[in-house]
Chain A
Amino acid sequence: MSREGLINLALGLGLLAFPLWAEWAEEPFMITLSTRVAILALAGVGLNLSLGLGGLVSLGHAAFFGIGGYAMGILASHAQSYTPIFEWPLVIEGTKAMPVIWLVAIAAAGLLALAIGALSLRTSGVYFIMITLAFGQMLFYFAVSWPAYGGEDGLSIYVRNAFPGLNTLVPLQFFLIAYALLMAVLGLAALITRSPFGLALDAARQVPVRVETVGIAPYRLRLIAFVISGMITGLAGALYADLNRFVSPAMFNWQTSGEIVILVILGGTARLFGPVAGAAFFVALEHLLGGVSDYWRIYLGLVLLAVVLFARGGIVGTLAGREAADG
């Protein structure tokens, strides 16, 4: 196994072992923190597909994270108040079933990514960053000003949504759901990276004109990557809302987008397990320093600066060295 493979294995097992230890030590809050890591990592895996493999620096992934959150919030709030979402032309009820909520979140994020991507991928570089940021902020202000679902105050969901056969209110069981989804999506991301599509997308990041010259349109590759990326981040948003049992416009805020970008860069751009390392580091720092000072993000900023200046490959990249050539 390559060095990066070993690091990935350690990260994967570590993220599983820590909450198991916490369960044994009766530290439920540590399990919640692990769940937070798994969910933020999932959002990062989504972004990593467009940012790492596709070279598309999106500062608007909060849009997908937020729409996933609101998909959960809207469905669950209607279910808890027993009011249908639509009565015409046909009656659509809310739901508390996680699998249904996930599918709705994925579909909504995918459609949104298709619309945002179709427009913003016509630009590149700093314009792309600005347009994705603008779309994210549009949704933020829309959520703030939409009173039906809580407006600024957001929506509280009193009981966590249900998954068949599990009691999701038990921290460890909810963690395992998030962990299983993260692992499944990491598997999918690994397949995509090695697939013909991934090869072409990665080449389009390096030399777009080469990809065109062999008869493949980079725009279409990027749009597909952006949609898959958005769907994954949307799924993470639905889980995140379920973790907190609360949805608010803050999920749509550009700060959320920034945090997802930061954890991907910290972990190692384009590295499969980079977002896992980045999310673990981010949550650990937030927990350890957040208690010491409200201004813990100053230290996060310093760490980010150090990574960008001295360790471009992030945590995984620095530990694993140059990417395996046969990746």
Chain B
Amino acid sequence: MAEPVLQVQGVSKSFGALAASQDVSLDLVPGEIHALIGPNGAGKSTLIQQIAGALRPDAGRIRFMGRDVTQLGIVQRARLGLGRTFQISALAMEHTVLQNALLGALGASGRPYRFLRPALRDPDLRRRAEAALERVGLSEQMWMRTSDLSHGQRRTLEVAVALTLAPRAFVMDEPMAGLGTSGSKRLTGLLDELRHEAPILLVEHDMDAVFALADRISVLVYGRIIATGTVEEIRADPEVRRAYLGEED
């Protein structure tokens, strides 16, 4: 197996008496989609926030691209190539779709402190932003105000902004949340292609999508990973069935 891009090593995080992450370890290797599943309140979001740099773990380490990034913030991790999407769309609602994509391209360029040439007329930024929008099928909505987009289009724009970063790893927090069947199918197709550009750590409730996409699945329950394995292994795991898939036997 190739050298992991992202490694979470023995990470723990508590809020008072609530242990949101307990000695969590997982990794993400090139070319894979690693799904993280678990019931509500299992600590998935807390774990994602620690991976993204929004929260510092109480113990343990996070390595990304061969570096220990445990002490780095969101900005520095993004610059190292971590492309994150949010469970609840975090987009500039007053901006157009294109402007949101341009912001990503601007971040990727590493030179945001430019004051004179309009962002819309910068050919490099435009090319990068439009390519990402094209890729997710939002080219026609380019000039629409983001607040006028449908929920599904916003979810897709989230992915497009992450794409403009050309990240070394994606961390996606429930990208399918609230999507209809057809939207969810399209996004599944897109993620399926994306894994070859950068591996994806995918938090998702949509089990059809998870079983269709995941190379590996980790199951988080009460802040602990109770199992990691292929789709077949997870489906067959009795502890997972009891704790999560809700089957009694």
Question: Chain A: residues with CB nearer than 8 A to chain B?
Answer: 191-192, 194-200, 202-203, 206-207, 209-217, 220-221, 224, 323, 325-326
Contacts and interface: CB of A to CB of B under 8 A. Distances in A.
B96 A214 contact: no
A195 B95 contact: no
Given A196-B119, A198-B119, A199-B119, A209 B165 contact: no
A320 to B, nearest CB: 15
Contacts of A192: 115
Given A215-B75, A216-B107, A203 B115 contact: no
Nearest to B54: A209
B58 interface: no
B72 to A, nearest CB: 11
B93 interface: yes
- What is the size category of the interface that chain B forms with chain A? 35 or more
Contacts of B144: 325
B78 A215 contact: yes
Contacts of A207: 90-93
B49 to A, nearest CB: 10
A209 B115 contact: no
B62 to A, nearest CB: 16
A323 B120 CA distance: 16
Given A199-B103, A215-B79, A216-B107, 19 more contacts: A191-B116, A194-B119, A196-B102, A196-B125, A197-B112, A199-B95, A202-B92, A203-B92, A206-B92, A206-B93, A213-B52, A213-B90, A214-B78, A214-B106, A214-B108, A217-B75, A224-B113, A323-B94, A325-B96
21 contacts: A195-B114, A195-B115, A195-B117, A196-B102, A196-B117, A196-B119, A198-B115, A200-B106, A203-B100, A206-B94, A207-B90, A209-B90, A210-B91, A210-B161, A213-B52, A213-B86, A213-B107, A214-B161, A215-B165, A325-B143, A326-B96
Contacts of B84: 213
B123 to A, nearest CB: 13
A214 B113 contact: no
Nearest to A214: B107
Given A213-B84, A215-B165, A325-B145, A202 B115 contact: no
Interface of B: 52, 54, 73-76, 78-79, 84, 86, 90-96, 99-100, 102-104, 106-108, 110-120, 122, 125, 143-145, 161, 164-165
Contacts of B110: 215
A210 B106 CA distance: 12
Contacts of B54: 209
Contact of B114 (A197, A210, A212, A214): A197
Contacts of B106: 196, 199-200, 214, 216
The 10 closest A-B pairs by CB, nearest first: A214-B107, A215-B78, A194-B118, A215-B79, A212-B74, A215-B107, A206-B92, A203-B92, A199-B119, A196-B119
A95 B68 CA distance: 56
For B54, B74, B93, B117, the residue with the greatest tally of chain A CB atoms inside 10 Å of its CB is: B74
Contacts of B115: 191-192, 195, 197-198
Contacts of A206: 92-95
Given A210-B90, A326-B143, A199 B99 contact: yes
B118 A195 contact: yes
B1 to A, nearest CB: 29
A196 B122 contact: yes
A216 B74 CA distance: 9
Nearest to B117: A195
A199 B52 CA distance: 23
Contacts of A195: 114-119
Given A195-B117, A215-B78, A210 B143 contact: no
Contacts of A213: 52, 74, 78, 84, 86, 90, 107
B161 to A, nearest CB: 7
B104 A214 contact: yes
A189 to B, nearest CB: 11
B90 A203 contact: no
Nearest to A201: B112
A200 B103 contact: yes
A216 B75 contact: yes
Contacts of A200: 103, 106, 112
Contacts of B164: 214
A312 to B, nearest CB: 13
Given A194-B119, A196-B114, A214 B165 contact: yes
Contacts of B108: 214-215
A210 B116 contact: no
B94 A199 contact: no
Nearest to B94: A206
Given A200-B112, A326-B143, A211 B118 contact: no
Nearest to A206: B92
Contacts of A211: 103, 107
Contacts of A325: 96, 143-145
A211 B76 CA distance: 12
A188 B119 CA distance: 15
A274 to B, nearest CB: 16
